[in-house]
Structure 1
Amino acid sequence: MRVVENYTQDIEIDSNNIREDFLKLQSHSMKYNLIFGGIPQTLDDDHEDTEAVIKNFIEKELEIPNADAIQFQNVHRLRKRRDGKPRNIIARFTNYRDHERVRKSVPNKLKSKPQFSVNQQYPTEISNRRKALIPKLKELQRRGTKASLIYDQIMVDGQPYNPSRDEPPNPIHNGRGNYS
C-alpha cells in the first residue's frame, strides 16, 4: 500500500513540475507582449488600425518620441468586455528594447492618468497568483520595505519573500495590558 502512495505522490510532483514548466514556456512566449487598457475604440471597430492607435498612444500619453519607428509583430483588440469599457489591446513588439522602453515609461507617465493601463502579459494562472500577492506587496511597501513583484513572487531587498523569515513575530497579549 505504501508503494502505491509513494508512486501517486511522485506522479503528483511530476505533474506539478510539468505544469510549472509549461507556465514558464507560456510566459516566455508572451515576453514581448504588453496589454494596453482604457484606450477608446473607434466607431468602426472592424476597420480600426490598432497599430496606429497604439503608436499614437505611446507618443501622446507615454510621451515617447518617434513611436512610428517602433515595430510590432501583431497588434489587436481582445474580446468585448462585459463592463462596457474599451476592449484591451495586445501588442507584440518586434524589438525587446522597444518593449522595455514603453513598459518602463508607464509608472511615471500614467500615474496621473488612471483611466489607462499598460501591463506585461502573463498566462492566466500567473496573473491570478500575482493578483493574490498584491495586498501583501502593498502592505510591505507601506511599512517602508523595498518590495517588488517579479513574475509570481514578492522580492524583498532582492531576495524571495519568506513570511517566516521576513515577518516580525506577532506580539502576544498576556492579559495584563502588556505584550510579550
Structure 2
Amino acid sequence: MPREKPKGERNEEPKTSMDNDYVSMCTLRELLDQQKLFYKDMLDLQEKNFKTFLTVVMDSTNKRIDDLVKDVLEYKHSMEYSQSEVEDLKSAHTANLSASKSINLNFDEFQKSLEALTSKMDYIENQTRRNNILIDGIKDEKSETWHDTEVKAKKFLADHFKMDPKLIEVERAHRNGTFQLDGRPRTMTVKLLRFKDKEEIIKGAKCLKGTKFFINEDFSERVRSKRKELMPRLKEERMKGNIAYLKYDQLIVHAPSSKPTTSKSTSR
C-alpha cells in the first residue's frame, strides 16, 4: 500500500539537465565577475602605486635638476667673479710691470749716478792722500805724540834718503791704530808739504831693500784692494823675467827691452 505524503509537503519536480547547465553558467559568470573585479582592483592598485612611485621619482629628479641648475648658476657666477678678479689681476700685473720698468730705469740711473759719485769721491780721497807716504818699521812708543812722530819721520828720511832735515817740510804725521803690546810698530802716515818730495822718496825707496823698513804710497780703500788683487799677477810676471810694478790701481808689465803696457786703463 503506498505511503501517503505528509500534509504540507510540497511536491518537487526533479531537476532537469538544462537547469544544471543554467546554474553552472551563472556560477561561472559570478566567478568571472569576481575575477574581473579582482584584476581591476589589482590594476587600480598597481596604477596608484606606479603613479606614487613616478611622482616620487619625478619629485626627486626635479629636485636634483633644480639643485644642479642652482649649482650651475652659482658656478657661472663664481666664474664671472673669478674672471673679473683675473682681469683685475691682469690690470694690476700690467701696472706693476710698468712700475717695475720705471723703477728699474730709475734704479739704473741711480746706479750710474752712484757709481759716478763713488768714483768722484774716490778720486777726491786719493787727491787728499796724494802727498802722503806710509812708513813701517820705525820704533813705536805708547806715549808717542804727533810731534814725536813727526820728529822720528824727519830723522828717518834724513838718515836713509840723505835729505836735509831743515828742507823736509811735513804738514803732519801720526800713527795708525792703537799701540801694540807685542812691540810691533804701528804704521806711520806722513803728509809732506810738496808732492815732488813724496815722488823722490818713493823712487828712492829701493835703498830700504834688505832692511826692516818699508815705504809705500797712501791710497783709498778701493785702490788698496785693487792693488792687493794685482799682487799675484805682479809676482807671476816678475818670475817670467818681465819688468812689473804697480802704478796707482794698474799693473805695469813689459819685457826688459820693450815698452810698458798696463793691465787696466784707469785715469787718476
Category of TM-score, reference length = shorter chain: 0.7 to 0.9
* Structure 1 segment 56-75 matched on structure 2, within 5 A: 56-60=155-159, 62-75=160-173
The change in CA–CA distance for 1:16 and 1:89 in structure 2 (over 3 A counts) is same
Partners in 1 of 2:176 and 2:229 — Cα distance? Answer: 24
Specify the SS of the correspondent of 1:39: coil
**In the alignment, is residue 151 of structure 1 matched against residue 253 of structure 2?**
no
Cα shift at 1:68: 3.1
CA RMSD, aligned part only? 2.2
When normalised by structure 2's length, the TM-score is 0.54
Distance 1:100 1:92 in 2: 12
Retained in 1: the 8 A contact 2:172–2:191?
yes
Greater strand fraction, Structure 1 or Structure 2? 1
Change (3 A) 1:4 1:126: same
Count of paired positions: 159
Does structure 1 conserve the Cα–Cα contact (< 8 Å) formed by 2:176 and 2:189? yes
Q: Secondary structure at the match of 1:68?
A: coil
TM-score, normalised relative to structure 1:
0.77
Alpha-carbon spacing, 1:125–1:47, altered in 2? closer, same or farther (3 Å): closer
The answer to whether the Cα contact below 8 Å between 1:42 and 1:48 also exists between their aligned partners in 2 is: no
Check 1:120–1:4 CA distance in 2 against 1; reply closer, same or farther (3 A cut). same
Q: 1:112 to 1:3 in 2, by over 3 A?
A: same
Highest Rg: 1 or 2? 2
Per chain length, whose mean CA-contact separation is higher, i.e. which structure has more relative contact order (CA < 8 Å, sep 6+)? Answer: 1
Which residue, out of 9, 27, 30, partners 2:126? 27
**Greater CA drift, 75-84 or 122-131:** 75-84
1:80 aligned partner, one-letter code: T
Go from structure 1 to structure 2 and tell me whether the alpha carbon gap of 1:63 and 1:29 turns closer, same or farther (over 3 Å shift): closer
* Aligned residues with identical type, % of pairs: 21
Moved over 6 A (4+): none
Question: Which runs of 5 or more structure 1 residues have no equivalent in the other structure?
Answer: 163-180
Give the Cα–Cα distance (whole angstroms) in 1 for the partners of residues 228 and 181 of structure 2. 19
Aligned CA distance change for structure 1 residues 46 and 25 (closer, same or farther; 3 Å): closer
Query: Which of 113, 117, 122 is the aligned partner of 2:214?
Result: 117
User: Is residue 136 of structure 1 aligned with residue 238 of structure 2?
Assistant: no
| 2:150 matches 1:51 | yes
1:161: which partner in 2?
Answer: 263
Deviations 1:2-34 (A, max 9, x none): 443333223212211211111111001100011
The residue identity in structure 2 corresponding to 1:147 is A
Deviation string 1:147-167 (CA, Å, 9 cap, x unpaired) is: 3212112233433316xxxxx
